[in-house]
Amino acid sequence: MRRSLEVWKMGTVNYLEALKLQEKLASDSDTLLSLQHPPTYTVGKRQTVHNLLIPDSEFKAIGAELHYTQRGGDITYHGPHQAILYPIISLRDISLGARKYVEKLELMMIELASMYGVKAQTGQRCETGVWVDNRKIGAIGVRISSGITSHGLAFNVDPDLSYFKHIVPCGIADKDVTSLKKEADIELPAEEVIQEQLISCFVSIFGYTDVLFKNKLNL
């Protein structure tokens, strides 16, 4: 069975703009948004106040936005030099449950890390995302409504990790955050190449046969 996917390469997009676009696309064909955000903290439905290490009012002072969302998970950071994918796909059409969907997202990031000689793995029980030993390299926070996915994953290519010091990332206090740049023993290619590789992992793992690419100029 042939399955089609539209991939929108969007560059840097404000978080709220990306959120509105996801809501608009929820009734359309399967779409994958590939983008980055300006410095932004997003809070999921499992967040507790103890995971914000500075008051809400101080995030603007450090040059970042703060948004409370309806996705799963706790608090995380999005910013430049992350590879972010937001899939808007129908899990019903591919007979996939929520847990298996998240596992496939994790597998994508594990495969990407392995391309650069970095051995990544899933976390312990109740720890979603992808880890290098006890250091988190890829975060996942998804929302599924009427079988349609939104939000998605963020893979740390070479972000400014100091932004994570203002939160307890994903609500896990005793583990660090890392990046592909820190973990790989080889020089990384341009970030656009890594983003393309992550898209290719998505297409392969989710079994799409027809892929249409759009960039910011022709959306």
Contacts of 7 (CB under 8 A, 6+ apart): 31, 32, 34, 199, 203, 211, 212, 213, 214
Count CB atoms within 10 A of the CB of residue 127: 14
* Whether 170 is catalytic: yes
Does 139 carry a binding-site annotation? yes
Does 74 carry a binding-site annotation? yes
Give the model's pLDDT for residue 142: 93
CATH number at residue 90: 3.30.930.10
Alpha-carbon distance of 162 to 172, in angstroms, equals 16
Does 98 carry a binding-site annotation? no
Q: From the candidates 25, 52, 167, 170, which is the catalytic residue?
A: 170
pTM of the model: 0.92
Helix ranges, the chain (H): 15-25, 98-114, 180-183, 191-205
- 82's tokens: 């992350």
Give the model's pLDDT for residue 219: 57
Parts of the chain with a pLDDT under 70: 46-53, 169-174, 217-219
Task: Report yes or no on 216 lying in a domain.
Answer: no
Task: Report yes or no on 214 lying in a domain.
Answer: no
Task: Report yes or no on 166 lying in a domain.
Answer: yes
Give the model's pLDDT for residue 52: 66
Task: Report yes or no on 218 lying in a domain.
Answer: no
Give the model's pLDDT for residue 114: 98
Q: What are the two backbone dihedrals, phi and then psi, of residue 86, each rounded to the nearest 5 degrees?
A: -115, 100
- Domain of 157 in residue numbering reads as 4-208
Task: Report yes or no on 217 lying in a domain.
Answer: no
Closest CA to 191 of 43, 82, 42, 67: 82
Task: Report yes or no on 32 lying in a domain.
Answer: yes
Number of domains forming the structure of the chain: 1
